[in-house]
Chain A
Amino acid sequence: MSESTSDTMSGAIQHSSQGKRMTPARILLYAVLVLFAIYYLLPLYVMLVNSFKPLEEIRGGDMLALPQTWTLAPWQSAWSTAQIGVQATGLKPYFMNSIAMVIPAVLLSTILGALNGYVLTKWRFRGDGIVFGLLLLSCFIPFQIVLIPMARMLGILGLAGTTSGLVLVHLVYGLGFTTLFFRNYYAAFPTELVRAAQIDGAGFFRIFGRILLPSSGPIIVVSVIWQFTNIWNDFLFGASFADVDSVPMTVALNNLVSSSTGVKEYNVHFAGAVLAALPTLVVYIVSGRYFVRGLMAGAVKG
């Protein structure tokens, strides 16, 4: 890094309040940042432009070009009239299935994760390290190996093919992550406060609700974002354990885009892909700021 660059940078840090001079170094800095923004935006751009083109134009070639004729038809088709199996329903009905699965799974895994983190840091007992280790290791198993035994268990529990079954699956395989997040967050929380409250006679849940929970905002955001995107985007479990009335969005999207020997309507596929991604995109954009704050507050320290 050149001398002048480092000078400017130190200047930037020291006087955060005053306006920034546009030195060559700073222009370079912005140029690099914008270049990377382009790299990150490219696939989204490809999906968006092609979703507005008629099919003939896509067959014709240049996929980076803007549409010559703009059309909204692919979007309408993907949402409400495209063939997802025998019915021409579009992706619309599957949206609700995904919502019905995601919300309870995210809430339950976050609540349990918070309580686990609380116990593991403030109510420590012999062997808690091993318990935490086992919970954490569970984040790292490849999900393909649990398919067959999980299917059997869901069958025994009478949950095969139901939304509740999917919620259970996502809850189990999300617990490790949520526990990790909350444990690391609460580890930094002053234990003295908890002890003091205990001496005052406050019980387990009271301490949690009155003392820890009010300051847990950032880490709840991290946990919710993480779980929401993972569960919303899951395909493997959805395809294996869902039934007629619980098929999630990703499975429907896959049905839309990966037909075997049929005609491929790429513009509809791209429109559908963007539609399916909208909820997670919204969650990221709305709460992205808190995400970094939440990571800062604990998740990365682990």
Chain B
Amino acid sequence: MRLTTIAASVALAAGLSSAVSSAVAADVEVLHWWTSGGEAAALDVLKQDLETQGVGWQDMPVAGGGGEAAMTTLRARVTAGNAPTAVQMLGFDITDWANEGVLANLNSVAEDENWDAVVPTALQAFSKHDGNWIAAPVNVHSTNWVWISKSALDEAGGKAPESWEELVAVLDAMKENGITPLAHGGQPWQDATIFDAVVLSMGNDFYKQSMIDLDMDALSGETMVEVFERMETLRSYVDDNFSGRDWNLASAMVIEGKAGMQMMGDWAKGEFLKAGQTPGEDFLCIRFPGTQGSVTFNSDQFAMFGQEGDADAQQKMAAAILSPEFQSAFNVVKGSVPARTDVSDGDFDDCGKKGMKDLAEANEAGSLFGSMAHGHAAPAAVKNAVYDVVTQHFNGGLSNEEAAEELANAVDAVL
């Protein structure tokens, strides 16, 4: 008996001391949350590219909550002193980590490849910190899209809405035709995605003041009350079962003609394509009425954690991410548009081409803004405070005036 006990404790000790070293020096270990079919396959292009350059790829996917689970993992890994070499990140998370001084400097590869000239300025706000490149953007998603069923629109008059009034008219016509006018899933980030677009439809200046500069007067003012009025109006076109619905199921409603349109970022396109639909013929992609010329974006980027011995592999990976070939190949699959403005749009479908054109224009005109709903307008604490209010209002818990006031309070409380 004593023997087995000793054996057990030996086994324990052996188990505890056999810490295995994880990554070989020339590898990159990549923490990301692109785990589903299309996007993971798109990332595989990058993996294979790197492998031809002799850089091995160790995959560390952690899905969930639009990257939230991965960020928790990252925090645990960094705390343990075992940071992955490259990490997918969004917006202010990059800035937060850069402030901790743990991200690797990518200036030399950025200079070689001339990133300063080709990456949209609004993206650089996140990819650069104190003038140094610290992240390589993979894509630009724009979030102020509306996806409309062609047949439902034809029955409702056939003309794509270009202003708020026209939008309401189309939604009314769809309602009369007996379908759900607006397919929507009641999850905080989806509510906020619509909210973003409505704020933007009040003008570029208002979006900048309220969502990016977090100006208290703009947040609680009359224009914001009007925003909430519009949210309330949109709410009346949503079916009763919207709450908690995944966005894909909302897309499916449009695909099947049960609903007229969905307000969602460009990743929704993948659902339509996968269902065998063609842009322009079966469905239309337009900017949220009143926002043509402006774009709210979120951008996935890869930041590198500074570690001895990995520098070469990291630089290679950063260069590969921003190569025009990968940018095109990846974004055709992902539904987003390239993070550099000089990539050919030859391989993209009509919606993709429009997305690239809109992005370039918005970049020139200074009307390319980070999306609040997707963490590119303000830090996480503010974003979630906005979610709280928008969701509560959308579910009928606050009046329009209360919501505007509460919005300013909630943002103020976490600043």
Contacts and interface: CB of A to CB of B under 8 A. Distances in A.
Does chain A touch chain B in the assembled complex, meaning CB atoms less than 8 Å apart?
A: yes
Nearest to B48: A86
B58 A244 contact: yes
Interface stretch (B77-85, B286-294, B314-322): B77-85
Given A108-B12, A147-B72, A159-B16, A85 B61 contact: yes
A87 B77 contact: no
Contacts of B30: 86
Given A108-B8, A155-B80, A243-B82, A261 B267 contact: yes
Interface string B61-88: 1111111010011011101111000000
B19 A84 contact: no
> Which residue among B18, B35, B60, B248 has the maximum number of chain A CB atoms within 10 Å of its CB?
B35
Interface string A154-175: 1101111110110110000000
Nearest to B46: A86
A254 B64 contact: yes
Give the size category of B's interface with A.
35 or more
Contact of B1 (A84, A209, A255): A209
B29 A111 contact: no
B63 A254 contact: yes
A177 interface: no
B80 A161 contact: yes
Contact of A104 (B15, B23, B29, B69): B15
B76 to A, nearest CB: 4
A160 B81 CA distance: 8
Interface string A250-268: 0100111111111111000
B43 interface: yes
B79 A86 contact: no
Interface in B233-279: 246, 248, 252, 255-256, 265, 267, 270-271, 274
A83 B37 contact: yes
Contacts of A84: 35, 40, 61
Interface in A3-57: none
A244 B59 CA distance: 6
Contacts of A245: 20, 22
Contacts of A263: 36-38, 248, 270-271, 274
Nearest to B273: A263
A158 B21 CA distance: 9
A148 B76 contact: yes
Contact of A160 (B15, B37, B38, B77): B77
Given A87-B59, A148-B75, A260 B33 contact: yes
A240 B73 contact: yes
B376 interface: no
B52 interface: no
Contact of A258 (B2, B16, B63): B63
Given A59-B256, A255-B35, A260-B67, A244 B22 contact: yes
B32 A152 contact: no
A205 interface: yes
A239 interface: yes
Given A86-B40, A254-B69, A152 B79 contact: yes
Contacts of A95: none
A151 B39 CA distance: 30
The secondary-structure label for the interface of chain A is helix
Given A83-B37, A86-B61, A244-B22, A164 B16 contact: yes
A189 B76 CA distance: 44
A254 B69 CA distance: 10
Contacts of B66: 260-261
Contacts of B80: 151-152, 154-155, 160-161, 241
B48 to A, nearest CB: 9
Given A86-B47, A160-B81, A151 B76 contact: yes
A132 interface: no
A299 B67 CA distance: 41
A239 B77 CA distance: 10
A249 to B, nearest CB: 14
B176 interface: no
B380 interface: no
Interface string B200-222: 00000000000000000000000
Interface in B308-342: 335
B25 interface: no
A83 B67 CA distance: 17
Contacts of A83: 35-37, 40-41
B113 to A, nearest CB: 24
A208 interface: yes
A169 B43 CA distance: 32
Contact of B73 (A86, A239, A258): A239
A85 B32 contact: yes
A205 B5 contact: yes
A260 B63 contact: yes
Nearest to B335: A261
Contacts of A256: 35, 63
B145 interface: no
B381 interface: no
A195 interface: no
Contacts of A208: 1
Nearest to A107: B8
Nearest to B6: A205
Given A82-B37, A155-B79, 4 more contacts: A240-B72, A255-B33, A257-B63, A258-B64
14 contacts: A59-B252, A85-B34, A85-B35, A86-B44, A151-B76, A161-B82, A239-B69, A241-B76, A255-B62, A255-B63, A260-B33, A261-B270, A263-B274, A264-B246
What 9 pairs between A and B have smallest CB-CB spacing? Answer: A262-B36, A259-B36, A85-B61, A209-B1, A155-B80, A261-B267, A160-B80, A160-B82, A158-B19
Interface of B: 1-2, 5, 8, 11-12, 15-16, 18-20, 22-23, 29-30, 32-41, 43-44, 47, 57-67, 69, 72-73, 75-77, 79-82, 141, 246, 248, 252, 255-256, 265, 267, 270-271, 274, 335
